[in-house]
Amino acid sequence: MQLVQGYLDNINARNDLNAFLEVWNEEAIETANQLDQKIANKDSLGSLFGVVIAIKDNLAYKGHKVSNSSKILEGFESLYTATAIQRLIDQDAIIIGRTNCDEFAMGASNENSAFGPVKNAINPELVPGGSSGGSAVAVAANMCHVALGSDTGGSIRQPAAFNGIIGLKPSYGRISRWGLLAYASSFDQIGPMTHSVEDAALVTQIMSGADSQDASMSQIPPLELDLKSKKEKMTFSVMREAIEHPGMDAEVVVGLKNLVLKLEAEGHTITYFDFPLLDSMVPTYYVLTTAEASSNLSRYSGMMYGYRSQNATDLESTYTLSRTEGFGAEVKRRIMLGTFVLSSDQYDAYYEKAQKVRRIIQNETRKILENSDAILIPTTSTPAFKLGEKSKDPIAMYLADLFTVQANLSGNPAISLPLYKTSSGLPLGVQLITKENAENELFSISQKLMDLYV
């Protein structure tokens, strides 16, 4: 119970960061007391006994509010619990609250929330990254052990990099999406944000495995952990554009080059590859995800649940005004773009072409990993930027996903590791991508790098 109280005190002390939308104080303390009683009774303890976990505000938890940080769902209470969360609870985890995020997980800075922006845990004048910024800050500011986020195009890894923690996007289909409020169904994945590779691996293992509620899940067996590297020397493939791209921050490039030198000095093999598709990945990602968002978000009409405009007078005005007043600017922008690319006269030119490019990206990623243990690239092209710096320039904001969308387009697992910093002390993330469903290899390589360089 003392551990939970300590985290509650930290949350209260750092409420200026706006990381949490709701904290379940009494429930967390009650659960902690129940777990203490299990010790007294000498009952068997779960694998996550006493681990305090925060959940992103797009994950359903029965009897608790879930709003996706949007006015259109403000006050809505979930009727069921997401499979991923239930599996953690079954292992004696304690859920402490729901974290702020970009509205409907659409954003790279966590400035799009209807409930105000989240601030970076290291420097409150900077963005925390998005869309899972609240979850990243909750872990980085020691408000919980672990936080769950969702990753559609980097929404776990990018904020993890900006806050100096570990963020994992599992393989597509590794973890059930049942109970995750959909943004783009063929991209979304639930994943953990932690301080250590071991914690990320354990939480991922517990959440993984088949779920009859999610037909898109992989049919491979649940993850069995083995963090011991089976190879002493590894081969890393470095994207040449990650070093030479004109949009790269100089300190990101220097840090990556220094890491490569250290790996070579340790006897690991470094190969380089050209990826001319890099500048096509962000447009491809946004064509496809906005199309899926346009479809997924059509259910929020003001009729069955959620926000309904008080100014509506008939069916059409109910739809129009409820969505106009309930959605924020970024969500409306993406719905409109998605509707456009799905329109009958634009479908072939945009949506169908983007699907073909996605397949090429997936195939090229597989080819690279045939002769490599992992792709090694920066998580982000820059360190965390100032609040408000890019909020009025959607294109500049979209380019924050430059190096993270590849893993979502291809379905591969990817992790961001806090392996170096800028000269001013801001954390920078290094990203590893491995073969599909090769989480064990990803974890073992990550552990080796963390042991060597942190």
3-class state of residue 185 by DSSP: coil
Give the DSSP letter string of 312-353. --SHHHHHHHHHHHHS-HHHHHHHHHHHHHHSTTTTIIIIIH
- Is there a contact between 161 and 168 (Cβ–Cβ < 8 Å)? no
Catalytic residue among 131, 171, 176, 322: 131
- Is there a contact between 28 and 65 (Cβ–Cβ < 8 Å)? no
3-class state of residue 239 by DSSP: strand
Q: What distance, in Å, lies between the first and last C-alpha atoms of the chain? A: 31
Distance, CA of 2 to CA of 195 (rounded, Å): 20
- Is there a contact between 435 and 369 (Cβ–Cβ < 8 Å)? yes
- Is 56 marked active-site? yes
- Tell me, what amino acid is at 181? L
- Tell me, what amino acid is at 304? M
3-class state of residue 208 by DSSP: strand
Q: Which residues pair with 436 in a beta bridge?
A: none
Instruction: Locate the DSSP E strands across 2-111.
Output: 20-23, 52-56, 94-99
- Is 132 marked active-site? no
Distance, CA of 320 to CA of 299 (rounded, Å): 13
Give the DSSP letter string of 370-392. HT-SEEEEES-SSS--BTTSSTT
Catalytic residue among 155, 208, 301, 381: 155
Asked if the bond preceding 131 is cis, omega within 30° of 0, the reply is yes
- Is 131 marked active-site? yes
Report the interhelical angle of 353-370 vs 278-296 (nearest 10°): 130
Report the interhelical angle of 197-207 vs 83-90 (nearest 10°): 110
Contacts by residues 113-120 (CB-CB < 8 Å, ≥ 24 positions apart): 113/69, 114/67, 114/69, 114/70, 114/71, 114/74, 114/328, 115/18, 115/21, 115/69, 116/18, 117/18, 117/387, 118/17, 118/18, 118/19, 119/16, 119/17, 119/18, 119/387, 120/17, 120/162, 120/163, 120/384
Write out the catalytic residue numbers. 56, 131, 155
